[in-house]
Structure 1
Amino acid sequence: MKKNPSCPGNPFASDSSRREFLHVGLLAGLGLTLPEFLKMEALGAQKTYASKEGVAKSVIQIFLPGGLAQQESFDPKPYAPSEYRGPFGSIPTVLKGERFGEHMKEMAKVADLMTVIRSMSHGEAAHERGTHNMFTGYRPSPALQFPSMGSVVSHEFGPKNNLPPYVCVPNVPNEFANSGYLSSAYGPFGLGADPARGNFKVRDLNLPKDVDEQRFNRRKSMLSTVDDHFRSLENSDALDSMDSFYQHAYKLISSQKAREAFDLSKEPEKLKLMYGKTQAGQRMLLARRLAEAGVRFISLTAGGWDHHDNIKTGIQKQLPSVDKAVAALLKDLNQRGMLDNTLVLLTSEFGRTPKINKTNGRDHWPRVFSVMMAGGGVQKGVIYGKSNALAAEPEENKVGVQDFAKTVYHQMGINADKELMAPGGRPIEIVDGGEVIKDILL
């Protein structure tokens, strides 16, 4: 059986001859998705994880790809000249003296549930490099692929409640959301479908119509026979653990509770409307549902924010639905008593230029931008850091990507100074440098 040299220790990196015996309509996709991340559960039985669960039991990472303008969102400059202020006004929040952009009416009402960092900064003005920073806490390197925060969480804690520890909604959004130098077993589970669609169903989790439970169980028995056959042909340690990986895969598929975690039809119509029947709304509602079921790290994207041209129209079209959905998520988590142990992140790869350009847009600007954190042991009703009068540079409490990542890991109970092993046995710190932002924590 041909092995994939890029991942010699992964029994699921072999070609499809073995998996063909398992094909019941759903396991065709599982061969490279579900069993890979479930591999870590079998490994977990032999490993004592150094990390212990922290205040945040789950993270919901909301990423706005393209670069959300700080001036039109969390850091308006109402007294700046018009060419810097932009096309919109600002509105008061529930926090005395603090204002958001005028299209953030709902988040302004729940600003007392969040911390806004207005002094986020890094030096990468290209989309790919900025995205790498925000997903990994590292600057890109030509020599090494760094793991995403979700993959590190997956590595440190493993699965819970028969659910994948790291889920991307609807799909893995970029190459930097993956497992990097860690095994692909710690990579994300992409849903393969968008919850905003009316016929939303997660791939791999449902038996096809022509496969009943009896037939499904026969295939499980067939797997045992096939395992014995391959084991007699190949004396491979990797194959010895293959049974357990597939058994966990079958356990997830056959578990009603696990499947229901992905089932938005269980949510009342009133709640769906509160989030909004939009891309952003339904993705965030599903994220809350997954966090509630035990998924440790949920990453989702919403919209596109690369507004080089006509930023007025771009913001008008996209920000209201995101504003509504994020506010609904925070209120919903708070009402369910989940906000204290669920860390919500709202980030982008960078901000936008201080001055409106000739095509009425803003260009890439990593020197200062805003991010939001809520729940998971983060203080409520805090504005941390400050940009200067034109939103061009940090003026107070500059925050780097290492500080941000280290704070997220700290809240989850992960010591970011811990070293993981890269290829060749090279030890690499989870985060190299930076400090936990203690001033924003409870």
Structure 2
Amino acid sequence: MRCHGNPLSRRGFLAAGTLGTIGLSLPELLMRQAAAEQKQYDFVEAKAKSVIHIFLPGGLAQQESFDPKPYSPIEYRGELKTIKTNTGEVFCETVPQLAKRADKFSVIRSMSHGEAAHERGTHNMFTGYKPSPALQYPCFGSVVSHEYGPRNNLPPYVCIPNVPNEFAGTGYLPSSYGAFALGSDPNRSDFKVRDLNLAGGVDEQRFSRRKHALEVVNSHFTSVTQADNIEAMNTFYQRAYDLLDTPAAREAFDIEKEDAKMRDRYGRNEAGQRMLMARRLVEAGTRLVTLTYGGWDMHNDITGGMRRLTPALDVALGALLDDLSERGMLDETLVMVSSEFGRTPKINKDAGRDHWPKVFSVMLAGGGIKGGMIYGASDSTASEPEENAVSPADLATTMYRLLGIVADKELMAPGDRPIEIVDGGNLIEPLLA
């Protein structure tokens, strides 16, 4: 069952016109819609408190990860072998740690869209929308920030290490709902999150005086203009002050506080330390963390490329799932592993695979997702969906539902244009625990 958002959405007005012809007054109509809306909202119970979105830029090959084709000809299946999971399914040999934990997550093998360019495919997978020349859509993190705001004085939307692409931004929403980016990689020996410490020579009293002076200046500018950049700057400064004023929040960003054995467990590399940082942030209160790892655009030597990049990802993801589970956080933290598209069914002349959006795989764990499930299927050569094709809008709708957000709720774009958070997505009900 899909849940509908604003009772005065475009659909609501269409209903108003229809019901008006049988004699209902506007107050009666609104009362009926409010009652119906309340019933629908009763189904939108948040299962997930936070999301860790692990994005693999470039286009992860489905054949060399979660959807191998061992019985297809060599030019389709590639050189890598398969491995049995603890649920009896088959993955590529590149992910042995995940294969041991397949009961903790589900894989969609039938993701599909029509955008073969990196930028357009990335837009789809960060917003749930096809790109449009007329409007910029907000990414998942900005929508979550808009709907829920900060928790425990942590930024609601954080990117590790930086905002990964132009589509990870606020779109038509005010820029105050943008991401807080670490600005440095947690794996670096000199890692330090920018702007989280008081400047040299500034003590707490001086900090308070500066804060008060800034509030006076800001109130003047706000009274003069309502420009988005002024309002956004006010919001960012206020959140920054809240963060600086909260030692527990600041500490969440200090990966040196983490036990050395835990850091080793995740892996002392980009994949491991970024995922560990993500866990620290959602544990402390951040609502959505986006992190990237690697470059998966393997037009050449895909066998070598996967053998080089995948081990760190495999170990770190396995550690993240175990760590969340051991802390009692997996049931309330949605882990989503995605890429902008997959790779071509056939190996090319350079022993690589090219862009292929017709079918690819996404991994989901925790936060109300069943474990040990394969949803959908590709055909025998991983060329297209064979059953239960899933669109980016379907994936986004499901993610938002797990967070308790009504996916077709209307937000306001410039010009007071009502735009649904997701347009036309279907809930992937079999995946829900």
Q: Could you say which residue in structure 2 is the equivalent of 1:206?
A: 197
**2:149 is equivalent to residue 158 of structure 1:** yes
Separation in structure 1 between the aligned mates of residue 233 and residue 287 of structure 2, nearest angstrom:
24
Q: Label 1:80 to 1:243 Cα distance change in 2 as closer, same or farther (>3 A).
A: closer
State how far apart, in whole Å, the 2-side matches of 1:320 and 1:192 are. Answer: 25
Measured in 1, the distance between the counterparts of 2:311 and 2:246 equals: 37
Deviations 1:271-315, CA, capped at 9 Å, x for gaps: 111110010100000000101011001000000000001111111
**Residue identity matched to 1:91:** I
Structure 2: distance between partners of 1:241 and 1:65: 29
Counterpart of 1:367 in structure 2 is 358
Structure 1 residues 244 and 85 mapped into 2: Cα distance closer, same or farther (>3 Å)? closer
Which residue of 1 is the match for residue 87 of structure 2? 95
Greater displacement, 172-181 / 425-434: 425-434
Residue identity over aligned pairs, in percent, reads 63
**SS at 2:276 equivalent:** helix
What's the offset of the Cα at 1:191?
Answer: 1.0
**Offset, 1:391:** 0.8
Q: Please tell me the residue identity of whatever aligns with 1:73.
A: S
Partner of residue 70 from structure 1, selected from 62, 69, 82: 62
Q: Which amino acid aligns with 2:408?
A: D
SS at 1:323's partner residue?
A: helix
Q: Of 159, 162, 165, which residue of structure 2 is paired with 1:168?
A: 159
Residues 1:139 and 2:130 aligned together: yes
Q: What are the Cα deviations for residues 215-260 of structure 1, in whole angstroms up to 9, with x where unaligned?
A: 32332243355457x46x9645678998786444322112111101
Q: Is the 8 A contact 2:137 2:170 kept in 1?
A: yes
Task: Note closer, same or farther for the CA distance 1:211–1:432 as it changes in structure 2 (3 Å cut).
Answer: same
Equivalent runs, 1:169-248 vs 2, <5 Å:
169-224=160-215, 226=217, 230=220, 235-236=224-225, 246-248=237-239
Against the structure 1 CA distance between its residues 412 and 107, is the aligned structure 2 distance closer, same or farther, given a 3 Å change threshold? same
Q: How do 1:192-341 residues align onto structure 2 when only pairs under 5 Å count?
A: 192-224=183-215, 226=217, 230=220, 235-236=224-225, 246-341=237-332
In 1, distance between residues paired with 2:367 and 2:231? Answer: 39
Against the structure 1 CA distance between its residues 125 and 225, is the aligned structure 2 distance closer, same or farther, given a 3 Å change threshold?
A: closer
Secondary structure at the residue paired with 1:177?
A: coil
SS of alignment partner, residue 115 of structure 1:
strand
* CA distance in 1: counterparts of 2:231 and 2:180, whole angstroms: 24
2:406 paired residue among 379, 391, 415: 415
User: Counterpart amino acid of 2:48?
Assistant: A
Q: Residues 246 and 366 of structure 1: is their aligned pair in 2 closer, same or farther, counting only changes over 3 Å? A: closer
Alignment CA distance shift 1:254-1:349 (3 Å): same
CA distance in 2, matches of 1:393, 1:173: 28
Inter-CA distance 145–305: structure 2 relative to 1 (3 Å threshold): same
The partner residue of 2:51 within 52, 59, 65 is 59
Unaligned runs of 5+ in 1: 1-49
SS in structure 2 of the partner of residue 373 of structure 1: strand
User: Do the aligned partners of residues 157 and 91 (structure 1) sit closer, same or farther apart at CA in structure 2, a change above 3 Å counting?
Assistant: same
Aligned CA distance change for structure 1 residues 179 and 241 (closer, same or farther; 3 Å): closer
Which residue matches 1:86? 78
Distance 1:205 1:393, change over 3 A: same
Q: Distance in 2 between matches of 1:309 and 1:134?
A: 24
Cα offset, 1:139, TM superposition: 0.3
Cα distance in 2 for partners of 1:332, 1:243 equals 37
Aligned AA for 1:122? H
Q: Which amino acid aligns with 2:198?
A: L
Alignment CA distance shift 1:58-1:244 (3 Å) = closer
1:387 partnered with 2:387: no
Distance 1:94 1:242, change over 3 A: closer
TM-score (norm 2): 0.86
- Aligned-partner residue type, residue 392 of structure 1: S
Provide the rounded CA distance (Å) in 2 between the counterparts of 1:303 and 1:100: 20
Query: Partners in 2 of 1:136 and 1:165 — Cα distance?
Result: 17
**Cα distance in 2 for residues equivalent to 1:202 and 1:370:** 33
Per the alignment, residue 32 of structure 2 pairs with: none
Cα contact 2:159–2:290 (8 A) shared by 1: yes
How well do the aligned residues superpose, as a CA RMSD in angstroms?
Answer: 2.0
**Alignment CA distance shift 1:226-1:103 (3 Å):** same
1:428 to 401, 419, 426: 419
- What do the CA deviations read for 1:91-117 (whole angstroms, capped 9, x no partner)? 111012x11111101111111000100
Counterpart secondary structure, 2:109 = strand
Equivalences, count: 390
1:358 is matched with which residue? 349
Alpha-carbon distance in structure 1 between the residues aligned to 2:320 and 2:237: 34
2:75, 2:232 → 1: CA distance? 62
Name the CA shift for 1:350/1:224 in 2 (closer, same or farther; >3 Å).
closer
Deviates more, 1:197-206 or 1:125-134: 197-206
Cα distance 1:209–1:376, how it changes in 2: closer, same or farther (>3 A)? same
Following superposition, the deviation at residue 347 of structure 1 comes to 0.3
Task: State the alpha-carbon separation in 1 of the partners of residues 381 and 409 from structure 2.
Answer: 39
Q: What is the Cα deviation at residue 210 of structure 1?
A: 2.8
Distance 1:432 1:417 in 2: 6
Write the distance in 2 (CA, Å) between the matches of 1:152 and 1:332: 27
Tell me, yes or no, if the aligned pair for 2:365 and 2:371 is still in contact at 8 Å. yes
Residues 109 and 362, structure 2, Cα contact 8 Å, conserved in 1: yes
State the TM-score, normalizing by the size of structure 1: 0.85
CA apart distance, 1:131 = 0.3
TM-superposed CA distance for 1:397, in Å, is 1.0
Give the Cα–Cα distance (whole angstroms) in 2 for the partners of residues 373 and 105 of structure 1: 17
